[in-house]
Amino acid sequence: MTWKRKAIATFAFVSLPVFCQQPSLRTSFLSPAAIHRPAAGVAATIVETDKLPYLNQLAKQLGKDPVSLKPSASDLLIQQAEEKFRSGRKFYQDRDFEKARAEFDASIDLMLRASENPTDRPLFECKLDELVDSIHRLDLAGMGAAVIETQPQFEKAPNEDIVQMTFPVDPRIKDRVQSELKNISSELPLMVNDTVLGYINYFSGRGHRTIEYGLARAGKYRAMISRVLAEEGVPQELIHLAQAESGFIPRAISSAAAGGMWQFVKFRGNEYGLMQSPLTDDRFDPEKATRAAAKHLHDLYNQFGDWYLAIAAYNCGPGCVEKAIEHTGYADYWELRSRRAIPAETTNYVPIILAMAIMAKSPGEYGLDQVVPEQTLEYDSVPLGASTNLPLVSDLTDTPIPELQQLNPSLLKSLAPAGFVLKVPKGAGSVLTAGLDSIPAEHRNGWRLHRVQQGETLASIAQKYSASTKTITTMNGMDNSSPEPGDQLLIPASLKEPAPARAALAKRTTGKTAVARKSAPARPGVAKGRATAAVKKTAPRTAGTLAQVSTSRPVAR
């Protein structure tokens, strides 16, 4: 039974709401086509089991000391499932797809068995979702040895139609919400009227999953966004503007060509330092875009002197709001709304953000207190001195290319330009730096590092990379002997000047680098064993689910 069918069967027994985004199940694991023709644009979701094993995460969720935790039989099975996933991922990175398939299947089997009595079912369901989605993403990626180019995946900014809709007010919640506001502290003025109540009613009912998913994904970026908003003097509640814009999807794109978590059109992003090149687009960088959005919102507040008008101007453009004020004589959002002086989508934009903020302030009142936030995204940042291809980074850090793309959503191709600050899993930065130091800067855009597997020969390795055996032996200072399992070989994409390149490599090769062979110093280009990074995994799932409300704004915003 394939992991896909097991995953589908899994969802049959899930009866309670699942607060993690469900994957889109389209293929079985590692089909021959996926192995030989990697799917483009897959942003993998990697479970953070290396960072926080399940039982420790469970103890943290329950507010207990891990030592005093008494896990159920299901909890132990979940921990075992994580271990199987880690093992499968290791085989996958080594391109042993058959063993990876077996370990991933075993992981899903264990999760199915664990479904009977987990201590914290929402956490279990979130973990199940992460495992299934991670395997699915790796399946689609199908990273082979010769992968050179993959394109990032972009998501259409979801829910563009909802901003043009109104919803009925439940009279039962009006008094309750007004009472809640008396006990809520907020940097952003919060008010309740029928429009705000209509959206609270919507998000409490059929739109509940929408707000759940957004709050779960927010966990990954909340600390960063909160810090930037505070530094720029912007109310913390405006984190919900990103929730409304994109549902915290870094690569969201709207029908109006606005892009990123904060949905900037190009010209407005350029004004705040979000630049584009053939290889990068800063609008898709979560922190850069957050900084730009905070500065823009602060400027709009200074211009209009009112946060509601600033939010409206963020949506439809300051020129639009200025004209509305000049036409009506009112510098008041609600007055402009009632007089229909602003675009239709802007009339509901502020109420949507207010509804989200009010509900997030009282999560227990709206069934949001059981949402399990995704763990904070952590990474090392490595400035690149030369253009560098992601497959090489993947080789050096044992990180799948889709995960590198997820950590670096502003990269438009699998080549990072010189000067780019590349994010890699926490703990892998020093490994990457040491490995790159072993490779001439002018060749980091094409060369690869290959770890020799059992049964591989020079001929088979050369065939994988469309290289010659002579080129490989020359580059790695090898004699005519066959490489041994565990050896690491530099694979040049081209070798126009082998002697100088080999000399440069020899100077850089020491026992501390990723290409130094411990057992035979006479072969400096080959390393015995593994150069394993302390990799910690985080990645968002974006496919197949509605995120938070996003606007269909005019391009001239």
**387 pLDDT exceeds 50?**
yes
97 and 233 fall within a common domain: no
Q: What mean pLDDT comes out for the span 61-88?
A: 84
Average pLDDT over the chain reads 76
- Residue whose pair of structure tokens reads 């946060």 in the numeric block: 307
Q: What mean pLDDT comes out for the span 460-471?
A: 87
Backbone dihedral region for residue 122 (phi beyond 0: left; psi -120 to 50: alpha; all else: beta): alpha
Residue type, 429: G
| pLDDT classification of 322: cutoffs 50, 70, 90 | very high
User: Which of 88-92, 437-441, 535-539 has the weakest average pLDDT?
Assistant: 535-539
**114 pLDDT exceeds 70?**
yes
Give the torsion sign (CA, 239, 245, 249, 251).
negative
Ordered alpha helix ranges (H), 31-72: 32-36, 54-62
User: b/e per residue, 101-132, with b = 16+ CB within 10 A?
Assistant: bebbbbbbbbbbebbeebbbbbbbbbbbbbbb
**462 pLDDT exceeds 70?**
yes
**504 pLDDT exceeds 50?**
no
Residue 547 lies in a domain: no
388 and 352 fall within a common domain: no
313 and 440 fall within a common domain: no
Last residue of a domain, one of 144, 165, 180: 144
Name residues whose C-beta falls within 8 Å of residue 12's C-beta, 6 or more positions apart in sequence.
none
User: Which of 76-80, 424-428, 475-479, 548-552 has the weakest average pLDDT?
Assistant: 548-552
Residue 493 lies in a domain: yes
| pLDDT classification of 261: cutoffs 50, 70, 90 | very high
Cα–Cα distance, 95 to 93 (Å, whole number): 5
In terms of pLDDT, which residue wins out, 486 or 287? 287
The whole-number pLDDT of residue 527 equals 37
The whole-number pLDDT of residue 477 equals 85
The whole-number pLDDT of residue 91 equals 82
Residue 515 lies in a domain: yes
Q: Which domain holds residue 324?
A: 190-366
418 and 329 fall within a common domain: no
**339 pLDDT exceeds 60?**
yes
Q: Rounded to the nearest 10 degrees, how much is the dihedral formed by the CA atoms of 431, 518, 515, 477?
A: 170
| pLDDT classification of 60: cutoffs 50, 70, 90 | confident
pLDDT > 90 fraction of the chain, expressed in percent and rounded: 41
Number of domains in the chain: 3
**227 pLDDT exceeds 90?**
yes
pLDDT > 70 fraction of the chain, expressed in percent and rounded: 73
Cα–Cα distance, 254 to 45 (Å, whole number): 23
The whole-number pLDDT of residue 330 equals 96
What is the crossing angle of helices 318-328 and 307-316, to 10°? 120
262 and 324 fall within a common domain: yes
362 and 384 fall within a common domain: no
**496 pLDDT exceeds 70?**
no
The whole-number pLDDT of residue 303 equals 97
CATH number reported for the structural domain that contains residue 263 in this entry:
1.10.530.10
The whole-number pLDDT of residue 165 equals 58
The whole-number pLDDT of residue 152 equals 52
**350 pLDDT exceeds 90?**
yes
Q: State both tokens at 532.
A: 């394993």
Q: State both tokens at 402.
A: 């889709």
405 and 475 fall within a common domain: yes
Residue 279 lies in a domain: yes
Residue 181 lies in a domain: no
User: Which of 147-151, 212-216, 280-284 has the weakest average pLDDT?
Assistant: 147-151
**Between the CA of residue 441 and those of 221, 279, 446, 504, 535, what are the distances in Å?**
33, 18, 10, 10, 24
The whole-number pLDDT of residue 142 equals 53
Residue 134 lies in a domain: yes
226 and 86 fall within a common domain: no
The whole-number pLDDT of residue 236 equals 97
Residue 552 lies in a domain: no
| pLDDT classification of 26: cutoffs 50, 70, 90 | very low
Smallest CA-to-CA distance from 153 within 440, 468, 403, 384 is with 403
109 and 220 fall within a common domain: no
**12 pLDDT exceeds 90?**
no
384 and 499 fall within a common domain: yes
> How does pLDDT run across 266-304, given as a tens digit for each residue?
999 999 999 999 999 999 999 999 999 999 999 999 999
Cα–Cα distance, 234 to 173 (Å, whole number): 29
356 and 458 fall within a common domain: no
The whole-number pLDDT of residue 156 equals 53
In terms of pLDDT, which residue wins out, 112 or 350? 350
Q: What mean pLDDT comes out for the span 85-89?
A: 86
Q: Contact 445/460 with Cβ under 8 angstroms?
A: no
292 and 348 fall within a common domain: yes
Name residues whose C-beta falls within 8 Å of residue 515's C-beta, 6 or more positions apart in sequence.
435, 438, 439, 449, 476, 488, 490, 505, 509, 524, 525, 526, 527
Q: What mean pLDDT comes out for the span 423-434?
A: 95
The whole-number pLDDT of residue 134 equals 76
Q: Which of 183-197, 223-237, 498-512 has the highest mean pLDDT?
A: 223-237
The whole-number pLDDT of residue 301 equals 98
CB atoms within 10 A of CB 179: 9
**92 pLDDT exceeds 90?**
no
CB atoms within 10 A of CB 302: 10
**310 pLDDT exceeds 90?**
yes
Residue 198 lies in a domain: yes
| pLDDT classification of 145: cutoffs 50, 70, 90 | very low
Query: Could you write out the three-class secondary structure of 329-357?
Result: CCCCHHHHHHCCCCCHHHHHHHHHHHHHH
The whole-number pLDDT of residue 139 equals 65
